Amino acid sequence: MRSSTALVLPALVFTLQAQEAGAPVTPVQRREVVEALAKALKAQYVFPEVAEATGKALQAKVAKGGYDEATTTKAFGEALSRDLRELGKDGHFRVRFDPGFKPRDEEEDRVPSREEVAELRQQAARRAFGIARVEQLPGNVGYLDIRGFGPTEFVGPAFSAALSILSGTEALILDLRQNGGGDPESVAYLVSHFFPEGDTRHLNSIYNRPKDTTRQYWTSPTVGPRYAGPVYVLTSGRTFSGGEECAYDFQTQKRAILVGETTGGGANPGHGVALAHGFLAFIPTGRAVNPVTKTNWEHVGVKPDLAVPAAEALKAAHMAILKGILAKEKDPEYRKRLEGILARVEKGEAEPVRYNR
């Protein structure tokens, strides 16, 4: 995991341009990759019994020629990924061909050079630090669409800046419908903005099987600004991993109302493991344990408080917020204005943000 005081290289780098993705793969290579995968599962997967059974099933399949049609590195990686997810019942599993991958033990604790830090920062900047949109919706409702949780050192200031822009809004909608996850430290950093100063919360713990350690994630006492208004979190079936943790943290701490669909159901973090012949696997080595529920969202997903199709979640949340504002508003002229906005939102005429599955 990344330290909060020192920048280290990420433990997993799935190279965007894996070399020779369609290169031929021989029967001997397939067998050796599966053998390496079974060994890695047994040593590192968070659930030992599942690791043992899954590894044996994969070895039996390759021995019977079950992967004979997967004659390229790309096809073989995809086939192994499908079988891993089906046998292990874990959406984090995946295998791909990437001969440029550097194993975790070589990269985890190495402090990067100044040039490497600059490149990592530039990569985060190209993704707008995970922020797809910051907007003030009609009725003075804040809207923040976050697609991923990159390294806190880079995305943290951007999260704080976005919330500074929205600090004067009546309520805030946090859109996680297309958030695939990331760093749990960055999740905690974001969530910290939504509790008063001095109100420190234990949000999540992650058990690491290979190290037999547990790391706790708490809200930070130093972040700002602090947002005190109502919060609505949008979810979909695509919300996964760290995106799910963020929604789950808000829900279990009773700080937000979740609107949308049940999330994807992936709560087991992990890292990349080099196999053989240029293949690597992402193996979940840990599991999240929520301090409130004593469990997590693996397999079951995070269930919304208000269940609606993901494409309708923004409208539903916006309407709920406007109705809440109207219920408290005394000024007749402003009430009339809000009623007009609510009517337009209900008709779909005041939604500048669209969700595309």
Query: What is the full per-residue pLDDT of the chain (357 aa) written as tens digits?
Result: 343 333 333 333 344 344 445 799 999 999 999 999 999 999 999 999 999 999 999 999 999 999 999 999 999 999 999 999 999 999 999 999 999 887 655 445 567 788 988 998 999 999 999 999 999 999 999 999 999 999 999 999 999 999 999 999 999 999 999 999 999 999 999 999 999 999 999 999 999 999 999 999 999 999 999 999 999 999 999 999 999 999 999 999 999 999 999 999 999 999 999 999 999 999 999 999 999 999 999 999 999 999 999 999 999 999 999 999 999 999 999 999 999 999 999 998 875 555 555
DSSP character string of 256-295: -EEEE---------EEEEE-STTEEEEEE-EEEE-TTTSS
What pLDDT does residue 111 have? 79
Homologous superfamily in CATH for domain 129-270+284-310: 2-enoyl-CoA Hydratase; Chain A, domain 1 (3.90.226.10)
| 23-30: Cβ within 8 A, 24+ apart | 23/72, 23/73, 23/97, 24/71, 24/72, 24/73, 25/70, 25/71, 25/72, 25/73, 25/76, 25/277, 27/68, 29/276, 29/277, 30/62, 30/67, 30/70, 30/76
What pLDDT does residue 22 have? 78
Alpha helices by DSSP H, 45-172: 48-63, 73-88, 104-107, 114-126, 152-165
Q: For residue 322, what is the enclosing H or E element?
A: helix 313-328
Q: What phi, psi does 197 have (nearest 5°)?
A: -60, 135
Dihedral sign for Cα 354, 234, 206, 96, please: negative
For residue 226, CA distances in Å to 10, 190, 285, 295 come to 29, 10, 34, 28
**Do 166 and 136 touch, CB atoms closer than 8 A?**
yes
Q: Token pair of 331, please?
A: 């000024």
What pLDDT does residue 197 have? 95
Sequence-ordered list of residues with C-beta below 8 angstroms from that of 151, at least 6 positions apart, any chain: 2, 7, 10, 120, 124, 183, 186
Sequence-ordered list of residues with C-beta below 8 angstroms from that of 31, at least 6 positions apart, any chain: 62, 63
What pLDDT does residue 1 have? 36
Strands 171-175 and 202-208: unpaired
What pLDDT does residue 19 have? 43
**Do 318 and 137 touch, CB atoms closer than 8 A?**
yes
**Residue 141: closest CA among 348, 305, 318:** 318
For residue 178, CA distances in Å to 136, 146, 150, 240, 248 come to 20, 8, 14, 8, 15
**Do 270 and 92 touch, CB atoms closer than 8 A?**
yes
Strands 171-175 and 141-146: parallel
d(CA 129, CA 257): 25
User: What percent of the residues of the chain are helix, what percent strand, and what percent coil, each to the nearest 5?
Assistant: 40, 20, 45
Strands 279-284 and 213-218: unpaired
What pLDDT does residue 17 have? 40
Intervals of CATH 3.90.226.10 along the chain: 129-270+284-310
Radius of gyration, alpha carbons of the chain: 22
As a residue count, the chain comes to 357
**Do 195 and 226 touch, CB atoms closer than 8 A?**
yes
d(CA 333, CA 173): 25
Q: For residue 206, what is the enclosing H or E element?
A: strand 202-208
